[in-house]
């Protein structure tokens, strides 16, 4: 599949008509239509349903649109990094879950950019599963993940910081008067919990009970929206400290008793060949964690 034709397809998908896309691409409509038809023949699938006013993507077309954007993004990043190999430059792409441990990464990046101002940073926020998937696809160089997470397929370094689990409640919640909270007390209230399976198992172990025995009213991917629900209901969100700023926010974080602390790690694909920028980040990361 020609990358040029892939770009044509993505432009048509965005503009929703052949005529508008042809104007954007500075092509004639017949030329563009033929390129798209040849692409469908090459792939053996129908990408569009052509209506009177605009085209609609088929299921295969939606899939190609998603992966096509990723392919062109990866090509652009690779080209940029290869054409700047005489100096430390290029893009460092990092995926991360919600954790205060990212402050350490921020310090490293800021220090690198003082020394190498041609370095750019691309951030992606998501769960550990999201981050690992994008590393596997080559869309991210590094991922910041919070244990428990399966790291067997990756190289990684453990960061010299830990995260601490607890519960987020509204300041008018019955638990808000407590300085810590134990499993028996928490089990009396409706709870929101992370949707990640390994995290759920870890929380289940801390409770000493199957989560089906608890009043789990919902799950979340990232915490911010869950915190809004907590603020306006009697539910409590099981979460890591420091993700939500609770100062003057109508919310309070209460740590678990006994404490539940977890490690944070930076992972990358085994055998990964980095750009000069990526290699500089990895070296700085290693130096920081070996102090």
Residue 79 has pLDDT above 80, yes or no: no
User: How do strand 48-50 and strand 142-146 relate by DSSP bridges?
Assistant: unpaired
Q: Which fold has domain 3-80?
A: Arc Repressor Mutant, subunit A (1.10.10)
Beta strands (DSSP E) in the chain are: 48-50, 55-57, 90-96, 119-125, 142-146, 154-170, 191-194, 216-220, 236-240, 251-255, 261-269
Per-domain residue ranges of the chain:
3-80, 87-161+263-289, 163-261
pTM for the full predicted model: 0.67
Distance of CA 93 to the CA centre of its chain: 11
In this prediction, residue 82 carries a pLDDT of 64
Q: Supply the pLDDT for residue 80.
A: 64
Is 85 a residue whose pLDDT tops 60? no
Q: What is the CATH number of domain 87-161+263-289?
A: 3.40.190.10
Q: What is the pLDDT at residue 73? A: 78
Residue 279: burial class (beta carbons within 10 Å; 0-12, 13-18, 19+): middle
Averaged pLDDT, 15-39 = 88
Find tokens 């420091």 and name the residue.
242
CATH topology for 163-261 is D-Maltodextrin-Binding Protein; domain 2 (3.40.190)
How far apart CA 272 and CA 241 sit, in angstroms, is 32
Domain 3-80 shares a fold with domain 87-161+263-289:
no
User: What is the structure's pLDDT at 166?
Assistant: 96
Handedness of CA 249, 251, 229, 131 (dihedral sign): positive
What confidence tens digit (pLDDT) does each residue in 211-235 have?
Answer: 888 999 999 988 999 999 999 989 9
The C-alpha atoms of residue 206 and residue 160 are separated, in whole angstroms, by: 23
- Which pLDDT value is given to residue 187? 92
Instruction: Dump pLDDT digits (tens) for 162-189.
Output: 899 999 999 999 999 999 999 999 999 9
Confirm if 176 and 236 have CB atoms less than 8 A apart.
Answer: no
The pLDDT > 90 percentage for the chain reads: 43
256-276: pLDDT as tens digits:
999 999 999 999 998 888 888
Per-residue pLDDT averaged across 120-127, rounded? Answer: 90
Average pLDDT, the chain: 88
157 within 8 A of 268, measured Cβ to Cβ: no
Question: What pLDDT, on a 0 to 100 scale, did the predictor assign at position 2?
Answer: 84
């Amino acid at each position: 599949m020609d990358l040029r034709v892939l770009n044509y397809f993505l432009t048509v998908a965005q503009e929703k008509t052949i005529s508008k896309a042809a104007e954007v691409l500075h092509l004639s409509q017949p030329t563009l239509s033929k390129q798209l038809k040849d692409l469908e023949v090459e792939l053996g699938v129908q990408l569009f349903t052509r209506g009177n006013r605009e085209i609609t993507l088929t299921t295969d077309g939606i899939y190609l649109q998603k992966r096509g954007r990723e392919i062109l993004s990866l090509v652009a990043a690779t080209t940029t990094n290869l054409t700047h190999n005489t100096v430390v430059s290029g893009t460092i792409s990092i995926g991360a879950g919600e954790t205060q441990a990212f402050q350490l990464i921020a310090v490293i990046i800021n220090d690198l950019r003082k020394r190498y101002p041609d370095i750019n940073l691309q951030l992606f926020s998501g769960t550990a599963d999201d981050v690992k998937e994008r590393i596997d696809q080559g869309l991210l160089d590094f991922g910041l993940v919070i244990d428990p997470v399966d790291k067997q397929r990756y190289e990684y370094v453990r960061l010299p910081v830990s995260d601490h689990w607890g519960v987020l409640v509204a300041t008018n919640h019955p638990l808000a008067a407590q300085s810590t909270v134990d499993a028996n007390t928490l089990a009396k209230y409706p709870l929101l919990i992370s949707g990640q399976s390994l995290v759920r198992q870890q929380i289940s172990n801390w409770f000493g009970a199957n989560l089906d025995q608890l009043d789990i009213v919902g799950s979340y991917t990232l915490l911010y929206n869950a915190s809004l629900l907590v603020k306006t209901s009697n539910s409590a969100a099981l979460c890591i400290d420091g993700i939500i700023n609770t100062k003057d926010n109508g919310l309070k974080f209460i740590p678990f008793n006994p404490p539940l602390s977890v490690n944070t790690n930076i992972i990358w694909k085994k055998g990964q060949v980095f750009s000069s920028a990526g290699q500089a980040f990895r070296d700085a990361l290693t130096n920081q964690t070996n102090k």
